[in-house]
Amino acid sequence: MALCGILLCTLIASLFGGLYLLGMFRRRRPGEPPLDKGIIPWLGYALDFRKDASRFLKKMQRKHGDIFTVLIGGYYFTFVLDPSCFGAIVKESRSKLDFRTFASKLVWQVFGYKPIEANHTIIQASSTKHLMGDGLTVMTQATMENFKKLMLFNLSSGEEKQVWQEDNLFHYCYNIVFRAGYLALYGTQQHQGAENKEKANEQDRIHSNEMFHEFRKYDRLFPRLAFAVLPPKDKIEAERLKKLFWSMLSVKKNWQKDNISGWISDQNQLLAENGVPEYMRDRFMFMLLWASQGNTGPTAFWLLLYLMKHKEAMKAVKDEVDKVSRESAQEAKPGTPTINVTKDMLNQTPVLDSALEETLRMVAAPILVRAVLEDISLKTSSGTEYTLRKGDRIALFPHLSVQMNPEIHPEPHEFKYDRFINPDGTKKYFYKNGKRVKYFSMPWGAGVSICPGRFFASTEIKMFVFLMLSLYDLELVNREEEIPAIDVSRWGFGTMQPVRDVRFRYRLRF
Ligand code: HEM
């Protein structure tokens, strides 16, 4: 009898413990944001969120307002959609709001890399040195060399200029931008003597293309991998690809290359000095590949597509590109369809800058997450003060709350190439209810976790578009082609991708 009693008590205790862990007993405390746990224990709204995060968040915003807490896969996320709170969140001290807790888990799950304490500092230091300022000038030259290697080889101008070539725009942009960026960062084939240079270039073209094709396979699996919902067959494929990249990008293989960037070599060295073993550094190189190459190609695609769909925008950007080329004596001419785009030239393109910013506003959609390490309070624009609970997570989704907000950006679904500049070329300010909005577009994130590669990324994309417009006439095969919808399974991971590709054609201008 006594045994039965003990068993019953244990069973009840386990049941309550389980329900507690599933979040069944959580109640909204006074001063906390509205709480919505959904109806499925533990999972909460995980399925709705994964299916189409933006749609789900819009629905929640209509139901609860600009701040609400939802249960997603065992975690309570407080979504803050009021832009006036962004400054307080992104500037909050790391002892209260920490971005590493969430990022570390994801990086381990997706790339097999276990970050160390100094990781963030190492990334920041190397990026400041090599992807900004003088370091960026070096990287710009390296990237230009690789764009030339990929785009300008085998080019014959003159009689053949009338020949149109057709391709898929998304694939074309992603392929070229990925390969140029990859070669500029991770280095090129070694060669001795000028006579072997062309052979090495050909090797670079072949190798970078293979790399791209494997990368795309991983890229396609990425959202489901991050949500840990891959079916067994895809899981095996993801494991195969992970191992392939660890090996292809391994520290040992890297040392057999020429022109390896300071960004890559410094980070490897600093990690080694901090005791990270070589096999882990191989994995880190894979993480860097994804961070550096996963968004630039897709962004270049959207920018070129919007330009092709908007004649006035295309003309304005093309006029600017031609003017800068002319003034820098870099015009492509009949017989010499070659051009050297420099950092200086890319500093003189306010119209292209605005077109890129507009593209990012429309298609860059990261979700920024911080772990709440101590209870904190947050004041909204209406004056309400909320307490956010220790152990929860805070999430921002600027695509919905600012970038597509009609109060900040009128007609947010329209591509307006000059939205970000005044007629005199200076930068515009943005307002909501008459108050200036500081965070009016956040494609790069903000605060401590802001993208350290943002200046290099802009340079690569602008350089690619500059080259495409200088060298080619471009048009859509079907002029009436609708802009494809975005793949809603990718919200939160950076630049969105289209659900289908778009046919386009190009021919040499000279
Ligand atoms: C259009 C292109 C790009 C976009 C939209 C983009 C966006 C972002 C965003 C939103 C984050 C921060 C995520 C967060 O707060 O959790 C991030 C992080 C990062 N990005 Fe970028 N990025 C781009 C290109 C690049 C490039 C070209 C590089 C390097 C060459 C790069 C390197 C990184 C790294 C290393 C991190 C992680 C930083 C850390 O953990 O401290 N990104 N990026």
Same domain flag for 388 and 347: no
In a domain, 405, yes or no: no
Ligand 1 centroid, distance to 466 Cα (angstroms): 22
Residues 335 and 371 in one domain: no
Diameter of the chain measured on Cα atoms: 99
Q: Is 441 in the pocket of ligand 1 (CB under 6 A)?
A: no
Cβ–ligand 1 distance for 405 under 6 Å, the answer no
Ligand 1 pocket check for 292: Cβ under 6 Å: yes
What are the tens digits of pLDDT across the range 233-250?
A: 999 999 999 999 999 999
**450 lies in the same domain as 351:** yes
Give the span between the Cα atoms of 277 and 189, in whole angstroms. 26
Nearest partner of 280 among 291, 268, 290, judged by Cα: 268
Query: Among the atoms of ligand 1, which is closest to the Cα of residue 460?
Result: 27
**Distance from the CA of 83 to the center of ligand 1, in angstroms?**
21
Q: Does the C-beta of 445 come closer than 6 Å to ligand 1?
A: yes
Q: What is the mean pLDDT of residues 307-319?
A: 98
What is the tally of structural domains in the chain? 2
Residue 151 sits in the same domain as residue 93: no
For ligand 1, atom 18, the nearest C-alpha belongs to 451
Q: Is residue 104 part of a domain?
A: yes
Which residues have a Cβ under 8 Å from the Cβ of 1 and sit 6 or more positions away?
A: none
Q: What would the mean pLDDT of 483-501 be, rounded to a whole number?
A: 97
- What is the average pLDDT across 149-174? 84
Q: Is the CB of 295 under 6 A from ligand 1?
A: yes
C-beta 291 within 6 A of ligand 1:
yes
Residues 172 and 197 in one domain: yes
Domain containing 442 equals 119-364+421-508
If asked whether residues 187 and 265 sit together in one domain, one would say yes
Q: pLDDT at position 434, please?
A: 94
From 8-17, 264-273, 351-360, 475-484, the region with the lowest mean pLDDT: 8-17
Ligand 1 nearest-atom number relative to CA 449: 15
Is position 22 within any domain? no
100 lines ligand 1 (CB under 6 A): no
Query: Is 309 found in the same domain as 243?
Result: yes
Structure tokens at 399: 């695509």
* Residue nearest ligand 1's atom 7 by CA: 444
Q: Does the annotation flag 295 for ligand binding? A: yes
What pLDDT, in 10s, does the model give residues 129-146?
999 999 999 999 999 999
Q: Identify the burial level of 431 via C-beta atoms within 10 angstroms of its C-beta, where 0-12 means exposed, 13-18 middle and 19 or more buried.
A: exposed
Query: Cβ neighbours of residue 69 under 8 Å, at least 6 residues apart?
Result: 28, 32, 33, 34, 35, 36, 76, 77, 78, 79, 392
- 322 has a pLDDT exceeding 90: yes
Residue 10 lies in a domain: no
Q: Are residues 157 and 271 in the same domain?
A: yes
- Closest atom of ligand 1 to 103 CA is 16
- Does 18 map to a domain? no
With a cut of 80, say whether residue 334 has pLDDT above it.
no
Do residue 84 and residue 137 come from a single domain? no
Q: Is ligand 1 within 6 A of the CB of residue 261?
A: no
Close Cβ partners of 292 (under 8 Å, ≥ 6 residues apart): 181, 185, 453
Same domain, 324 and 447: yes
Residues 6+ apart with CB under 8 A from 65: 34
Q: Judging by DSSP bridges, how do beta strands 431-432 and 67-72 pair with one another?
A: unpaired
Report pLDDT for 52. Answer: 97
Domain boundary among 349, 380, 396: 396
Q: How far is the CA of 451 from the centre of ligand 1 (A)?
A: 4
Dist CA 339 CA 342 (whole Å) = 10
Q: Are 129 and 266 in contact (CB under 8 A)?
A: yes
Q: Are 45 and 97 contained in the same domain?
A: yes
CA of 41 to the centre of ligand 1 (A): 34
Do residue 291 and residue 185 come from a single domain?
yes
User: What contacts 24+ positions apart, CB below 8 Å, involve 209-217?
Assistant: 209/175, 209/179, 211/178, 211/179, 211/182, 211/248, 212/174, 212/175, 212/178, 212/179, 212/182, 214/241, 214/244, 214/245, 214/248, 215/178, 215/245, 215/289, 215/293, 216/174, 217/241
Read off φ and ψ for residue 177, nearest 5 degrees: -70, -40
For residue 40, give the CATH number of its domain.
3.30.43.20
Query: What separation in angstroms does the CA of 361 have from each of 103, 290, 321, 489?
Result: 23, 21, 22, 18
DSSP class of residue 194 equals G
What's the rounded Cα separation, in Å, for the pair 290 and 278?
19
> Which is more confidently placed, 157 or 50?
50
CB count within 10 Å of CB 290 equals: 19
Place 170 in a pLDDT band, splitting at 50, 70 and 90.
very high
Ligand 1 centroid to Cα of residue 396, in Å, is: 16
Mean pLDDT of 320-333: 90
CATH number at residue 493: 1.10.630.10
HEC string of 410-457? CCCCCCCCCCCECCCCCECCCEECCEECCCCCCCCCCHHHCCCCHHHH
Local confidence band at 192 (pLDDT 50, 70, 90 cut-offs)? confident
Question: Ligand 1 mean position to 454 CA, how many Å?
Answer: 7
What's the confidence (pLDDT) of residue 18?
57
Residue 262 lies in a domain: yes
Tokens of 188: 């090129």
The response to whether 340 counts as a known ligand-binding position is no
Determine whether the shortest distance from the Cβ of 299 to ligand 1 is under 6 A: yes
pLDDT bucket at 156, cuts 50 / 70 / 90: low
Asked if residue 180 has pLDDT above 90, the reply is yes
85 carries a ligand binding annotation: no
Q: Report the predicted TM-score, pTM, of the whole model to 2 decimal places.
A: 0.95
Is 331 part of a structural domain of the chain?
Answer: yes
- The per-residue pLDDT for 283 is 98
Residue 29: predicted pLDDT: 96
Do the domain assignments include residue 250?
Answer: yes
